[in-house]
Structure 1
Amino acid sequence: MEFLTPMGWDEALAMKADRPDALPLAGGTDVMVELNLTAHRPAALLDLTRIPELRTWSTTANEHIRLGAGVTYRQVIDELADQLPGLAMAARTVGSPQIRNRGTVGGNLGAASPAGDSHPPLLAVGAQIEVSSKTRGSRLIPIDEFFTGVKRNALAPDELIAAAVIPTARGPQQFSKIGTRNAMVIAVCSFALALDAHTEVVGTGIGSAAPTPIRADEAERYLTEVLQGLRLWRRRSPLPESVVRRFAELVAEAAAPIDDVRGTAVYRRHALSVLARRTLTWAWDEYWATGQSAA
């Protein structure tokens, strides 16, 4: 196995163009597990950890965060909890402190696991994934189109993930997941919710309950229409219990779970309905009380 060590972004893209079979290595928290278990033995590893521009984030002119692919979970927690509260909540649930110090959102996207903790909050806010090729330049892939199958994504063989472009919070956001224990656990299922008080739109993200991370489209449409129809964005009154219950039902119906060693399909659907009900209640209570996004 070859180990490629570019020192800059252009060099990394050139190496990837020359060796499209090279597996990118960011934090290594997914890749090294597969290597240790001999589940995946690539012809080459492309080490991206020495590229400084991947480890930074910036605010764009249209109030988005451009999150470099090498930004760690710890950076998200420490530096971006106000701007990206849902992603910061998800980051706090990832592994151990050592893994959060090493693991990256870009690496999580590249692995494209249905159980990736960063995926639901990125779906809920409609993030875009910036990818680059040496020969074709850069393009933005909507997060809804990024995941194409179990551990598969929309990257071309010669492309690398440069960044995630994420709208800053314009209302409360929440993230919850169910696992077999409180820490160091892969999600049995997870759910993210984002309330955008400016556009009066609801966003969702479901993890570990379908072949890919998905949104609960019908649940989003239902809640968006109810909140607008009852003018609850302006009144800031409590949500009717019937609305919360129906939203939770639609979230559960959106899932396509399987039975596996971590849980049954029936349990996952039930758990998602509970997570949807809780996160909506928490987020709306916060909006009703303060109108501020969660930190």
Structure 2
Amino acid sequence: MDFLRPTTLDEALTVKAERPDAVPIAGGTDVMVELNFDHRRPAALLDLTGVAELAEWASESDTGSDTGSDSARSRVRLGAGVPYTRLITDLARPLPALATAARTVGSPQIRNRGTVGGNLGTASPAGDTHPVLLATGAEIEIASVRGTRLVPADDFYVGVKRSVLAEDELITAVHLPTATGPQQFAKVGTRNAMVIAVCSFAIALEPGRVRAAIGSAAPTPRRARAAEDFLAGELPWASPVPLRDSVKRRFGELVASVAEPIDDVRGTAAYRSHALAVLARRTLGWAWQEFLDKHRKDDACA
């Protein structure tokens, strides 16, 4: 097995073009497990830990957003090599749901090594950050010697552990809008820590708009669009009041309806569907309470 270690992004892209069979490795939290259990034996490893550009994040502005506004909206460009630990410590305020998901990943040692870029590279349906990327409208920055492209998270996943990534491309960054409303993430596992999700769910609320997504309950992470449309029309945005139980319950049912769960060693299909409905109700309750509290605080200060 060849071990390739570029020191710049240009060099990494050149190597990947010359050796498309080379498997990228940064934190190694997934790749090394596969190697240790002899589930994979690639011809070459492409070590990206020496590429400083991948380990940086920066704030940026985005003129016009998917809400249709012409005003500039703040975004974060998160390098593919930024570890979960830094995401938690540096970006919990602008990216609250992503930081919450990062806190659930493995042990402290894993969070010190693992990255969102690696999560995307494996494209596992159980990846903890995937529902958040979908719910927040993230875009994936992909580069090769042929150029750079931005792929909406909605279009990134194409099958079980498969993505739109071409064999000569590398994931270089993720672009995420900063939160302008409550965001939540939750998952169910067989224990409280160091666990692969049985199912997971993320929600992002902004006045007039809802985005929600599931993970580990279908061949790919996916949006719950019917649930989004239902809830957007039910939430009393202008004059917030506590939500009716019937709204939460229906939202949970619609979220669970988009799942295509299976029975496996972590849980049954029936349990996954039930748990998703529960997670959806709970996270909606938390997010709406945050929205309600902020509205009341703003009224008190007015």
Shorter chain as denominator, the TM-score bin is over 0.9
Match of 1:275 in 2: 279
Structure 2: distance between partners of 1:259 and 1:234: 43
Aligned to 1:209: 217
Deviations 1:40-82 (CA, angstroms, capped at 9, x unpaired)? 1111100001111110101112211000000110011000000
Which structure 1 segments of 5+ residues have no match?
Answer: none
Partner of 2:131: 120
Q: Which residue of 1 is the match for residue 233 of structure 2? A: 225
> Is 1:179–1:187's contact at 8 Å kept on the other side of the alignment?
yes
Q: Please give the alpha-carbon distance, in whole angstroms, between the structure 1 residues aligned to 2:92 and 2:76.
A: 12
State the shift of 1:204 in Å: 0.9
1:153 matches 2:163: yes
Any idea what SS the aligned residue of 2:195 has? Answer: coil
Distance 1:291 1:91 in 2: 28
What amino acid is aligned across from residue 234 of structure 1 in structure 2?
A: A
Instruction: Look up the match of 1:89.
Output: 100
The equivalent of 1:28 in structure 2 is 28
TM-score of the pair, normalised by structure 1: 0.95
Give 1:291 shift: 4.7
Is 2:191 aligned against 1:181?
yes
Q: Give every structure 1 segment of 4 or more consecutive aligned residues whose post-TM-superposition deviation is greater than 6 Å.
A: none
Partner of 2:266: 262
Aligned equivalent of 1:105, options 116, 124, 131: 116
**Uncovered stretches (5+) of structure 2, i.e. residues with no partner:** 63-73, 297-302
Instruction: Give yes or no for contact 1:237–1:288 (8 Å, CA) kept in 2.
Output: yes
SS of the aligned residue for 1:60 comes to strand
Flag the structure with more relative contact order, 1 or 2, with Cα contacts below 8 A and sequence separation at least 6. Answer: 1
* Residue 144 of structure 1, aligned match among 154, 157, 178: 154
Alpha-carbon RMSD across the aligned residues, in angstroms, is 1.0
Q: Which amino acid aligns with 2:211?
A: G
> After superposition, where does 1:16-55 map in structure 2 within 5 Å?
16-55=16-55
Residue matched to 1:194:
204
Report if the CA contact (8 A) 1:64-1:168 is conserved. Answer: yes
TM-score by length of 2: 0.93
Which deviates the most, 79-88 or 239-248? 239-248
In the aligned structure 2, how far is the partner of 1:133 from the partner of 1:64?
Answer: 23
Distance, in Å, in 2 between the alignment partners of 1:117 and 1:291 is: 30
Residues 108-150 of structure 1: per-residue CA shift (max 9 Å, x gap): 100100000011111101100000011x200001101101111
**How many angstroms apart in 2 are the aligned matches of 1:207 and 1:265?**
13
Secondary structure at 1:101 match in 2? helix
Conservation of the 8 A alpha-carbon contact between 1:20 and 1:158? yes
Distance (whole Å) between structure 1 residues aligned to residue 209 and residue 84 of structure 2 = 27
> Residue 263 of structure 1 aligns to a residue in which SS?
coil
CA offset digits 1:243-264 (Å, max 9, x no partner): 1110000001011100001000
Q: Note if contact 1:171-1:291 (Cα within 8 Å) is conserved in structure 2.
A: no
Counterpart residue identity of residue 185, structure 1: V
